[in-house]
Amino acid sequence: MDTGHSPSKRQLTSMAKIALTEKEHEICSLLNNVADHIHTTTNQQLTLRIAGGWVRDKLLGLASHDIDIAVDHMSGYTLAHHVTTYMQTHSLATSSVGKINSNPERSKHLETATTKVLGHLVDFVHLRSETYKEDSRIPLVEFGTPEEDARRRDITINALFYNLQTREVEDFTGRGLKDLQEGVVRTPMDAEQTFRDDPLRVLRVLRFASRFGYEIDGETARAMHRVEVRQDLDKKISRERVGVEVEKMAAGERPLLAVQLILRFNLFECVFRAPPRDMWTNDVAVDAAAAESVSRCMLRVLDGALLHAHIPSQYDVTLRDRRALILASYVFPFHAAVAADRKRQAPVALLVVRDGLKLPTNDADTVAAVHTLAPRITEMAALCCAGPVERNTLGHLVRDAGARWVIATLFAAAVELHNGKSADQVVATFSAFMGAVKDAELEDAYKMKHIVNGRDVATLLKCRTGPGIKPVLDRVMDWQLAHPRGTHDECREFIVKEIAPHMPL
């Protein structure tokens, strides 16, 4: 599979050293002082470790701000309170301690406490072991050793620890550093058991493999292909947790590889859960493979800068826009489908994002909007290539699209690439559209206010304000778009001469 990226590899050793920033050094020293204070006052010996992603990223030379402290012989919540008390006695700023409770029914097995340490948000958890009864997938979580804790984590490169006392990296799986060096994603324990314990780990494997461009270990891959694992992911994991992983994939460095892996492991229907077919109001085929093709084309438009020179200078394609366009590409297979939704109809793609992934309504609306607008913009772009287009025709499309008209144009370009058009054809077509909008000074047409408002219209037509005024206001806007230099008085004259005579008495 062509990922477009080679795996990130580093020369690492079992005694790999981590270079702390000044702030990290201060945090580690303070936490060690807290542990020493607890030992002095209670005779309880604690070892504090930074766990997981921070260790991995620091070893890869990446900045990391997610500090998770794992403690033995004490709950993370209790330790967090010890930390805030210690800081208060030393006149340091503190914040309240938050607690995120475990939710075993949703495969979230570990209670987490969070508070600020020297202004930096830090999470606290206890080292844990998990045991399962044969008839239950909900574990008994107990205090554990670092070896037990490491084995219960999702993948080996996330199971590394940084010991605050010794200032050394600890690899209790015996594979984490080697896998990090060789670019391999694997589970610390038996892969199938790991996924049955917490099925979300399947998506985390995909996310980290795509994030770093790493290979998935053979045993891990075979377990991910098992039907039972997919069923557990579909049934046991909340849609919110699935949505978090998909959102991170879409915002990651290799979103194309992410969707390729989802398709490779036959997870498309499970990840992008659509309403039941009996709720659909049209019968359309869903080609999951289109998600990969459109994503590839979308990245050609975004990263290849095919149309960047033609984007209006006042518009920036933000990281949020980019993520939304990738999401729209992921769910493109549903672009023509419609389903019943709360006594009305809605695009299935919107429902997948809103309900299937539990992402914000604005994300769902953006996805639905670019899907709907893309064919309209493509049609308009073809007209612009053929010759001049009336200003009000262009203006109405920009107004209908609103602030999303630019990203909808980029998405339309990606869909045309997907449909087989060449890059030169796509650039020629959509640059003509963007150029026409610019030449007509319609880039911000969606912000235009009516030059004659509803109250004035009602006065001129001797009628009441209300919904009945809207068709008149639509004609007012049409006149404005056709007459960019038109004045208030000229518009009033248009209303009196062209509209008033046709109003019912």
pLDDT tens digits along 181-205: 999 999 999 999 999 988 999 999 9
Same domain as 177, residue 257: no
- How many Å apart are CA 475 and CA 107, to the nearest integer? 57
- How many Å apart are CA 98 and CA 122, to the nearest integer? 11
- How many Å apart are CA 408 and CA 7, to the nearest integer? 33
pLDDT digits (tens, 9 = 90+) for 235-284: 999 999 999 999 999 999 999 999 999 999 999 999 999 999 999 999 99
Cβ(172)–Cβ(54) below 8 Å: no
User: What is the pLDDT of the chain when averaged over all its residues?
Assistant: 91
* Lowest mean pLDDT, pick from 18-27, 199-208, 304-313, 337-346: 304-313
- The domain that holds 241 is classified in CATH as 1.10.110.30
Q: Is the pLDDT of residue 46 over 50?
A: yes
Same domain as 298, residue 246: no
Q: Is the pLDDT of residue 1 over 50?
A: no
What confidence tier does 157 reach under pLDDT thresholds 50, 70, 90?
A: very high
Give exposure, 428-456, as e/b (b: 16+ Cβ within 10 Å). ebbbbbbebbeebebbebbeeebbbeeeb
- Domain final position from 147, 167, 182: 182
Same domain as 143, residue 33: yes
What confidence tier does 14 reach under pLDDT thresholds 50, 70, 90?
A: very low
What confidence tier does 436 reach under pLDDT thresholds 50, 70, 90?
A: very high
- pLDDT for 16 equals 73
Same domain as 156, residue 61: yes
Reference 413, options 397, 427, 398; nearest CA is: 427
User: What is the average per-residue pLDDT within 15-19?
Assistant: 77
- Domain final position from 163, 182, 201: 182
- pLDDT for 141 equals 66
What confidence tier does 101 reach under pLDDT thresholds 50, 70, 90?
A: low
pLDDT digits (tens, 9 = 90+) for 64-100: 989 999 999 899 999 999 999 999 999 999 999 998 7
Residue found by looking up tokens 């919540």 in the block:
77
* Lowest mean pLDDT, pick from 133-137, 390-394, 427-431: 133-137
CB atoms within 10 A of CB 159: 27
Same domain as 175, residue 89: yes
Neighbour-count burial of 192, counting CB atoms closer than 10 A to its CB (0-12 exposed, 13-18 middle, 19+ buried): middle
- How many Å apart are CA 100 and CA 111, to the nearest integer? 6
- pLDDT for 368 equals 98
- The domain that holds 135 is classified in CATH as 3.30.460.10
- pLDDT for 348 equals 98
- Domain final position from 141, 158, 182: 182
- Reading the block at residue 321, the tokens are 């826009």
Q: How, if at all, do strands 140-143 and 161-163 pair?
A: unpaired
Same domain as 370, residue 264: no
Residue 71's DSSP bridge partners are 48, 126
469 by DSSP, 3-state: which? helix
Same domain as 258, residue 295: no
Cα angle vertex 340, ends 337, 345, to 5°? 75
Same domain as 386, residue 348: yes
- pLDDT for 431 equals 96
What confidence tier does 140 reach under pLDDT thresholds 50, 70, 90?
A: low
User: What is the average per-residue pLDDT within 357-373?
Assistant: 98
- pLDDT for 68 equals 96
Range of the domain at 486: 449-502
Domain count along the chain: 4
Same domain as 165, residue 236: no
- How many Å apart are CA 109 and CA 379, to the nearest integer? 52
Q: How far is CA 492 from CA 29, 119, 447, 456, 468, in A?
A: 74, 60, 21, 9, 18
Reference 208, options 234, 180, 169, 233; nearest CA is: 180
Q: How far is CA 367 from CA 179, 259, 329, 351, 353, in A?
A: 37, 17, 9, 10, 8
Q: pLDDT above 90 covers what percent of the chain?
A: 80
What confidence tier does 492 reach under pLDDT thresholds 50, 70, 90?
A: very high
Cβ(177)–Cβ(138) below 8 Å: no
Q: Cα-flanking dihedrals φ and ψ of residue 114, to 5°? A: -140, 140
- How many Å apart are CA 248 and CA 11, to the nearest integer? 27
Give 351-419 as a 3 state SS string: HHHHHHCCCCHHHHHHHHHHHHHHHHHHHHHHHHHHCCCCHHHHHHHHHHHHHHHHHHHHHHHHHHHHC
Same domain as 421, residue 304: yes
Q: pLDDT above 70 covers what percent of the chain?
A: 92
Same domain as 292, residue 219: no
Same domain as 151, residue 135: yes
Cβ(408)–Cβ(446) below 8 Å: no
- pLDDT for 105 equals 45
